[in-house]
Each structure stands twice: as C-alpha cells, then as structure tokens.
Amino acid sequence: MRSASLANVVDVAAAPLLSLSEVTKRFGGFTALSEVSLDLRPGEVHCILGENGAGKSTLCNVIFGVYQPDGGAMTYRGAPYQPSGPADALAQGIAMVHQHFSLVGDMTVVDNVLLGRGRGVLNRKECARQLARLGEDYGLPLDPFAKIDDLSVGERQRVEIVKCLIRDPQLFVLDEPTAVLLPDEIASLLAVCRRVAASGRAVVLVTHKLAEIKEVADRVTVLRGGRTVVTSDAPTRDIDMLVRAMIHGDVAELDGAAASTLGLGNVEPVGRQPPRSKVEALQIDGLTVRDRQGVTRLDNFTLTVDRGEIVGVAGVEGNGQSELAAVLAGMVTPTSGRYYLGETDLTGRSPKEITAAGVGIVSEDRHAVGCVLGMSLAENIYLNRLDEFTRFGFLNRTALQREATTLMQRFDVRARGPGAPFSSLSGGNQQKAVLAREITLPNLSCLVASQPTRGLDVGAVAAVYGHIRDACSRGIAVLLVSSELDELLSVADRIVVLYRGRIMGTCAADVSRKAEIGAMMAGQAQ
Amino acid sequence: MTAVDDKPSAVAAPRFGLRPSLLIPLAAVAFAAAVGLALIAVIGVPVADAIAAFVDGTIGSPYALAASLNRACVFALVGFGFVLANRANLTNVGGEGQIAVGGIAATAVALYGHVAGLPLGLAFILPTLAAVIAGALWGGIAAVLKVRSGTNEVISTLLLSFIGVWLLYWCVQSPALLRKPMTSSATLPESLEIPDAAKLPLLTGDYGFPVHLGLPLTLILAVVVGVILARTLFGVRLRAVGLNPVAAYRAGISTTRTIVVALSAAGALGGLAGALMLLGEQYTLKDGFSSGYGFDGLVAGLLSRGSIPGVIAASLLFGFLRSGGINMEMTAAVPTALVVVIQGLIVITLAGAALFIEKWERR
Amino acid sequence: MSWELFAVFIGSSIRLAAPLLLAGIGEMVSERAGVLNMSIEGMMLMSAFASAVGAWATGDPLLGLLIGILSVVPVALLQAFLSNTLRANQIVSGIGINILVLGATTLAHREIFGARSRAEIPGLAKIKLPLLGDIPIIGPAVFEQVWLLYAGIVLIVITALVLRYTSLGLAIHAAGAEPKAVDKSGLSVTFVRYGVVLLAGLMAALAGAFLSIGDIHTFTEGMTRGAGYLAIASVIFGKWRIGGTTLACLLFGAATALQFQLPALGIGVPNALLIMLPYLMALLAVGGLVGRQMAPATLGEPYRR
C-alpha cells in the first residue's frame, strides 16, 4: 500500500486544475465520448477505469489536444481550454505518456529528450545534467547516452516519462502505462505518480487493473461506452461498485478467465477436466534464436505439450515469446534446436508445411500477420485453404462464400456478410474469424495462440477462451502465450515462465503460486 | 478548366455508374487537354489548325487510324503488365527497357534464326516468343533482386530501362551484333530489315490500313489478364501479397514465387509489346526504338486504376494523342512534347486525387 | 596510363560526380526525413533549362543560376504538396513530375531556340584553388573547377553539421524514423517534410545548373539522362549517410568519366557499354545490398496523425 509519507491531502475544495463539462467526441457515426464531465484537482492521482473501447484513450487524446471535441467545454486553470493540438497542450503545461511509445530507436536518450525542444545548436551535456537531476528527484535513473534500441521496455517508458517531466507539466496524463511492465517496474512507476502528485500537480492514470487503483488512486472515474458512469472519492472502499460500473453486470456472472484479465485475481478458475491423455503432441527441444546482431532472443527452450493440455507461456513482453511463436509458426528459422509434432520434424519448415501438418497459429499481431485487412471476410477465413476452392486455377467464389457463412455462424463472427471487408469488422470479430480459420484445420492437433485476447472486450474474451477450451477438450495440444498472468492462471494447466529468452521455471497454473511466478517473470530462478 | 470544377456536383450520384474512380480520370484528361489547348494558343499556332492537324493524324485516314490502333496495342500490353504487377503492390516502371530487349530479341531471331522458311506462321511466332522470353527475363532480374536483396523494384526497373535502351544502342552500333553490314561510312546504325515472312500479317492485307495481328492478340490478352486477376487463385494470391505479404506468407502463399511471376509476366508483356513494334510496324531495329512507349504504357496502367477496360481506354487515348501529336508537329508546327506535357499533367492530377477516390469508394 | 591522363581522369570524375553529389545529398536529407523524391530528375532538368535560358537572356550566368533555383521552387512545392498534403504515392507523383518537366522544357526549348539550335550560353566561371591548383599536372586537371562545385562542397559540409549538431537535424532524422515522436514533441512533421523537399529542390537546382551552365554551357533536350535516378541510387548505395552517398556519387562519376578516358587510351570498349556502365554499376550496387534495414523507417510513407 501507499506509504504514509508520500500520501498527500487532496484539498477537495481547491479549484480544479482542469475540468471537463459534457465533452462529446464522435468519429463518423460512432460516438466515442458522450457528455463526459470530470474534475482534475492539483495534487491528486485520478484513475480512469474502463474496459477496452470505453473511451479512455479518446478522453486522454481530447485533453492532450490530439482530438478536438465535438461538444462540451473544458476549463483549465480557470480559463476556457481549447488546445489546437499537442503542441498547444504542451505549451500550456499538459503532458502525456501514450500507450504506444514514440521514441526514435536509433537516437540516444538525450537526443530523444531534446527533440522538439530548443533551437539551433544542441546542448547535449546540459540536457544530460537535467536528466540526472530529474532521475534523482523522481527515482528515474537513465543512461543519457544509451541508444533507445538498447533499452528495456521499462527503461523506454522512463524515457517517455522524463520527456514529459522535463517540461515541468501541471497535468500529467498516463495512458495505460503499466501494460508492458514487470511487477517491480509497475510499483516504481506508481511511486513516481505519487511523487509527481505530491509536488502539487495532477496525475491522470488510465488503467483497467484494479490492483493499481487500490495502490495509487485518490479518486477514480469509471468510463463505460463513452460515458462517465461514476466517480469515487474512496476507491478502495468502493472497489466492488467500481467493477460493476465498469462491466455493467455482476462480478460472479463473469467467465473466470475474463474476470481475471480485469485483475479480479480472487476469482477461481472455471473447473476443467485434467488432461485426458499423456500423449505428447508438441515437442520442443532446445530451440535457440539469435537475431542479426547476434543477441540471443530465445535460449535453449525445451517443452512438451500433451494432447488435451493447455500450457501457458508467461513473461513480460520482449522476453522471447515473440521469437518462440514465430519459430513455431514457421516465420523464423531457429539458430539451433528442433521442434516436432508427434513424430514429424517441423523445424525450419515453411508456414504452408506447418499448417498442412496440423498446427494452428493465432499470431500476436493480428493485423500484421494474422489477416489481410484489405480482403474480404470469406477470403480471410479460408486464406490458408483457398486451394480447396480452386479447380484448374479458378476460384469458386460461390462455394467459398457459402462455407465462410457456415463458419461465421459457428464462431459467431458478426459482419454484414462473407463479402464484407475484413477491415470493417470489430477487433473481437476479426479475432474470432482468425480463430475459426486456425481451429477448423482438418487435421488440427496443436494450437499455438499468442496474446489471443489482446484488445478485445469481455464478451469476445470469453468467446475466445470458450473456443480454446473446446479445442483442448477434443484432444488438441494448446500452447498459450500471454503477458497477462491472471489470464494464464485461469486457463492453462501448466505455466512456463520466460525471462530474457530462458525458461525460469515451470509450475502448475495455481493462483496460490502467483507471487512465485511473478518473481520468476522478474528474473528470479525457481 | 471548367470541366474540373463542374464534376464534383455530378459525383453525388455514385450508384448510377458515375463513380469518382471513373469521373476523376476523365476530369484529369479534360484538364490536361485544356492546358494543352492553352499551350497551343500560347505558342501562337491557331488552335483550329492544330485541332484539324490532330484529327487528321488520328482518324483522318485509314492509315492514321491503323497507326493509332497499333500504338494503342503497345501501350495496352505494357499497361496490362503494370496492372498485373501492381496487384501485388509492385510498381513496374521498366516498360521502356522491356520493350527494348523485346525488340532486340525479336530482331535477332527474325534475322538470324533461320525462320524465313518455317511453316504455320512460325516465322513470326518464334521471334515473338523470343521477345516475350527476353522481356520476362528483364522483368525477372528486378524480381530476383527484390526477393534476394530487398531492392526496390522501382529503382531497379528504372535502371534496367536505361541499361536496356543503351543495350539496344550497342546492338545497332556494332556490326558484330545486329548492325547491318557496313558497306560504306554512310551505312546507318540500324539492323537489316526483317524478312517478309517474319512480319506480322496485316488483318486486311492492305498497307493502306495496316492494322496487324497484334490487335486481336492484345484483345485476347486483355481477357486473359482480366480473368486471371478476377477469377483465379493466382489473382487472389497477387492481391494478398500486395496487401500484406507477411500475412500471405503465414497463410502458405509463396511470396517470392508470386513476386517473381508477377514481375516476369509484366516484363513478358513489355517484351511482347516490343515484338509488335518491330515485327508489326518498324521492321528494322534503330536507336531510339522504344521511343518512350514504355512510359506511355506505364501511364495508361496508372490511369486505369487497376481495371483492364481502363487500360484499354487509356491506351486508345494515348495512341490517338501520339498519332495526332506527330501530325500536329509535321503540319501545324506544334512540338510533340506537348503530348508529353499532357501525360505528365494526367499522372500528377491522378496521383494527387488518389486519396480522394479511395476515401470516396470506401463510403 | 600516364600521369597527365590519370589527373584528367580524376578531374573529370569529380566534375561528372558533382551534379550527382549535389542532387544526391539533397535527396538524402529528404529521404532521412521520410520523403522519396523521384522528381529529382525533373527538378534537375527544370533548373538546367531555366538557368541556361536565364544566362542566355541576361548574359549573366549568375542571374541564370538564380533563375534556375527559382524555377525549381514551384516544382518542389508541387512534389511536397502531393506527397505530404495530398498523401499521394511518392513514386507515381515523382514520375509524373518528371514527365511533365521533360515535356515542358522540350516544348519551351523548341519555342525559344528552335529544333536544332545549340546556342552558346555564358557559363559559370572556373576557379583555380590557391596552392592546390599550383601543383604541376594535378593542379590544373583536378583543382580548377567551376566555383559552383566548391560552393556545393561547402553546402554539403554545412548539411552534415546541421544534421549532427542541431535540433533541426534531430527533427529531420526523427521525421523519417518515428514521425509520431516529432508530432508529439510539438513540432510539425508536415513542416519538416515540406522543408526537406524544398532543400532537395534547391540542391537539385544547383545540380541542374551545373549540368547546363557549369559544365557544357548549353542545354539539350532531356539532358539529365537519368542523372536524378543515379542520385537516388547513390543515396541507397550510400546507406543514407553523407560519406557513403559522396563515395557512391564519385564512383558513378568515375564510371561516366571512363567514357571519355578509355577511348583516349586506345582501349576498344564499345561506347554504348561505357555509357551504360554507371547505370549498370548503380544496379549492381543497389541490388548487392541485403535488406533495407538502413533505410529510414517511414521512407515513402505519407504521415498521418
């Protein structure tokens, strides 16, 4: 919990630093924010809680001047506030750390901080001194002359934060900053938030994790469907109410897995029968991947997954999971090691051969690898099996559309029709279509799913897990890669933890061992 | 100029065929033509005289009409190739070089391949095939560089164009290659005339209306390319590779094979265009043989926005523009460069309007 | 090969590399910021023509140079507008500009000079460098060049310093590598990218003027003959670095110089092969590189917030 010395008394009566009054933002026919009203006071950490798609990021972007609201008004320091763009917001003392970093990878920390500041000849030494001072004040140590590409994700985020703090902002907005961090790093980030607030500034922290709210929030506002549902002055006391407000339903009704992605760690996993057979389906033997620079990304990874078993791969992003999944998908040839499906050696085979062997792949980056956005739903849902609809080189589009319609119904993919452009589907429906394609491979015996629920709303998350469990109960071996530990704990049978490309340990997916797994994710051997 | 301003109001009825994808190219052409007319006036040539010369050069005589159609076939073939490769997001700007190597190969086989006595039209079929293969290889070089080293095909096809054009120059300069035997110092740097048997048959047999076999061949290829793009698995693969090569590869599509086939096919069509020019019209290989037709074909491909009928329409337009432009220079003292200006304006206008068209079509 | 011939070879290599170098460095800066100008060729041709006409009409090559630079401003603005504001395909719009400029300059040349004229045009002065120019044999052949070449070298050094040591240099680099970072830091990606296209235009204008009023003192139709594309190839071959681009340009310049040197040595290589050589070398150079990791991440992609 929060340390007493850092806790500051928020003067409730003080004039708000920024207040939003009935702010509305539309994109085409879609209303992302609807009459949102909100007060941000100096000295407080104000959390914005909401599901994916609730409008949290839009709200931040309106405050930061990226979007101009279509209705309502904002008041900042007692005067009307209508930022013409991010530059204007920055000039007025509002800074934001975005969900996705925007750092220049082949520039140094100092150069990234200096970008857009000052004119003429650069004074890198002076900037490095300023960085050192800020680092001491807020607990953000950084090597000013390191290249961004050489930094860990946590360090990169520190650079983003320092870039903001060096401008001495009055209002500091952080959009889902903890999604990519280790437990330790999350704790220190939250401490930074407290220190910034303690210096009399306002901090807006966007999150969907309840643990963080308990830890740091002075006040919480819940967004759902673009509306403010409720604001609480005592978040820890109101936590159950906040959860219900966020998802608009009863906590107990939630699918266990879906609930745990929200951070409701105390929800028991839904009972699942133990693995039916001890027949090895997927056998991975000493896979090692070194990148072009010779850095080892995946180190001697060895694992077997039995038929009907779900094995989770846990770890903070960037610790070798992507490389593992890419090798299994045939997108990357490993430096050494082998990988078998039953008796068949699939090492270094092409994606086509791996698909033919019966391995379904749900890629972590849906838009980059999983689908072709510019093509139709029908073409995407059969993208790897289009030759089944081909005779003498000619594609039978009628049959394709018919079969695609059948799959759409089975997997509850909602779209205008099989001919709808894939880009017109929502993220959840896109993911269901990708799952449908990979799970219905005729000879499927293994499924490798990476971050399959990322960016989906609760309903779609439940559907995705339903299909994965269903496949598992049919005797499919499932390897599930996720950076959400809670989700793995409730879905998987076993969990292996990756840290810097190596397996730190393996244990049963048991909620009681969460702390132990968290320690392994941070690099402590079992 | 007013033509451009008038169009947007008509655009408001998308369901009735007046789509912006059709209207904007038309508007671009009208705009460019208007600028062209204005330039004629600026030069000081009476516009009526220039127009008369233009019409005379395009449809004024059966000969002029045939020449325009033959040119249009060349542009169309290069344009089909552009559209085909562009489906895979490849920009083939090497038509000029592909025409050149096609011309070289066709000349070499027609003159030195002992084809004159062959039956069944093999005398012109073999040189044509040689040109197709040469063009495919020329396009294939760019494809291999792209697949092997990631070389951008725009820069490689452009450089290959320069190389092809100078290769042709070399061939007609060197007696050891295709230059006709040097009898005196006045011998022109060009090849011998190809034997009659190797010349493409004229449809009417009448030199007053010299439309050759290339016209039906081009129409057949229009259908073939159109069907490949719209109805075949290969067409879908081209599109998938063009839109998202990583996802296409993950789904089992060989991106390298698709790229090689697409660029080679585009090159083959360019080589065929070179064969039509040599075997159908020019009969001797000379320096400057490709005469910018590769760029005209490229522009036709761009103008069509991926549609085969669009390529045909644009090719006809440029065929007539070229023929009319040549006649304007000869009889009305308007430089043919005017036609080049008009083409440049069309490309720029369309490039600038592309985003607007895409946005509109997505609605 | 005698020392005299070698010195002449070095001198003409530098002279022939000069337009590539000027245009290539401008294009490199532009590509570093993410904009690909296929229109370098057209910009060079425009300036070659306009500066020749300007020098001919005013009798002053310096005024000609100025007119050449001014003539490229609208071309560069058109390219910048198409590729940044209208977010057009940069390759297609560049090629369109090249076609337009080729047609327009040819048309205007015919109108002003007639079809076959080779009017004598006053050219830019040559300057012998002090000390270096006095070296026997090498001095006159290598260190007596058109002053525009020296000015270009100074410009290139300034460019290198600006890229390395100023906030503008950071903004240019970031606009190509991670435009979002530029946007979020309060700078305008569009502003930076308009600026670099104008710079590329300025450098291409110097290159074009060098061709017509610097080197051969006349204008011929389509006289750039693909030099703009060679400049782009040299940027790729030079891996988007000033040093690499300079070396690539010198290499292509030397390949072009062989055209005039080998016949002088009595070596019987076909002329066409020698003319082809720079393009062939450019193709091999560009094709021999593996991957495009070195290219700015967003090269050729219009920025959209």
Same domain, A457 and A330: yes
Rounded to the nearest angstrom, the minimum Cα separation between A391 and chain B is 9
In a domain, A422, yes or no: no
Per-residue model confidence (pLDDT) at position A1:
40
Q: Which of residues 82-111 of C touch B (CB under 8 A)?
A: 82, 86-89, 91-93, 95-104, 106-107, 110-111
Domains contained in chain A, number? 3
A10: left (phi over 0), alpha (psi -120 to 50) or beta: beta
Q: Domain boundary at A247, A271, A300, which? A: A247
Same domain, A212 and A140: no
Same domain, A203 and A81: yes
CB spacing of B235 vs A386 below 8 angstroms: no
Q: Which of residues 92-131 of B touch C (CB under 8 A)?
A: 93
Q: Tell me which amino acid residue B247 is.
A: A
Q: Domain boundary at A201, A231, A247, which? A: A247
User: CA-to-CA distance for B42 and B32, rounded, in angstroms?
Assistant: 15
Contacts of A144 (CB under 8 A, 6+ apart): A108, A109, A110, A113, A124, A127, A128, A131, A132
Instruction: Tell me the mean pLDDT in the region B242-246.
Output: 94
Among C184, C188, C303, C304, most A C-beta atoms within 10 A, so best to mutate, is C184
Pairing mode of beta strands A477-481, A446-450: parallel
Same domain, A457 and A493: yes
Task: Summarize pLDDT for B191-208 with one digit per residue, the tens.
Answer: 888 888 888 888 887 888
CATH number, domain of A233, equals: 3.40.50.300
In a domain, A345, yes or no: yes
Same domain, A222 and A295: no
CB spacing of B344 vs C104 below 8 angstroms: yes
Enumerate the domain spans of chain B. 76-320
Same domain, A47 and A160: no
C174 inside 8 A of chain A by CB? yes
Instruction: Tell me the mean pLDDT in the region B162-170.
Output: 93
Q: How confident is the model at residue A251 (pLDDT cuts 50, 70, 90)?
A: very low
Same domain, A78 and A194: yes
| Total length of chain C | 305
Q: Please check whether residue C190 is in contact with residue C203, taking contact to mean a CB–CB distance below 8 angstroms.
A: no
Rounded to the nearest angstrom, the minimum Cα separation between B307 and chain C is 17
Instruction: Tell me the mean pLDDT in the region A86-93.
Output: 87
Tokens at B271, concatenated = 């080589």
Task: Summarize pLDDT for B147-159 with one digit per residue, the tens.
Answer: 988 888 988 999 9
Which of chain B's residues have a Cβ under 8 Å away from the Cβ of A361? 250
Per-position pLDDT tens, chain C of length 305: 577 888 888 999 999 999 999 999 999 999 999 999 999 999 999 999 999 999 999 999 999 999 999 999 999 999 999 999 999 989 889 989 999 999 999 999 988 887 666 667 888 888 887 877 777 777 777 788 889 999 999 999 999 999 999 999 999 999 999 998 898 887 889 999 999 999 999 999 999 999 999 988 889 888 998 899 999 989 988 889 999 999 999 999 998 898 878 877 777 778 888 888 889 988 988 887 655 557 888 888 888 87
In a domain, A5, yes or no: yes
The helix/strand/coil state of B195 is coil
Q: Tell me which amino acid residue A90 is.
A: L
Same domain, A365 and A240: no
Say which range, A265-269, A398-402, B91-95, has the weakest mean pLDDT.
A265-269
User: CA-to-CA distance for B55 and B68, rounded, in angstroms?
Assistant: 11
Q: What is the ipTM of this complex?
A: 0.90
In a domain, A400, yes or no: no
Strand ranges inside A225-279, DSSP E: 227-232
Same domain, A60 and A144: no
Rounded to the nearest angstrom, the minimum Cα separation between C274 and chain B is 9
Q: Which of C99, C272, C291 sits opposite B340 (nearest CB)?
A: C99
Q: Which of C171, C178, C166 is nearest to C196 (CA)?
A: C171
Task: Summarize pLDDT for A494-523 with one digit per residue, the tens.
Answer: 999 998 889 988 988 887 787 788 778 877
Same domain, A119 and A83: no
Which parts of B150-254 fold into alpha helices (H)?
A: 153-173, 214-231, 233-243, 245-250
Same domain, A71 and A37: yes
**Three-class SS of A433-499:** HHHHHHHCCCCCCEEEEECCCCCCCHHHHHHHHHHHHHHHHCCCEEEEECCCHHHHHHHCCEEEEEE
In a domain, A162, yes or no: yes
Q: Please check whether residue C90 is in contact with residue C83, taking contact to mean a CB–CB distance below 8 angstroms.
A: yes
Instruction: Tell me the mean pLDDT in the region B171-177.
Output: 84
Q: Please check whether residue C233 is in contact with residue C28, taking contact to mean a CB–CB distance below 8 angstroms.
A: no
Same domain, A5 and A77: yes
pTM for this predicted structure = 0.84
Tokens at B356, concatenated = 């607007």
User: In whole numbers, what is the pLDDT of chain A averaged over residues?
Assistant: 84
How does DSSP assign B99-113, residue by residue? HHHHHHHHHHHHHHS
B78 inside 8 A of chain C by CB? no
The residue segments making up the domain with residue A335 are: 280-369+442-521
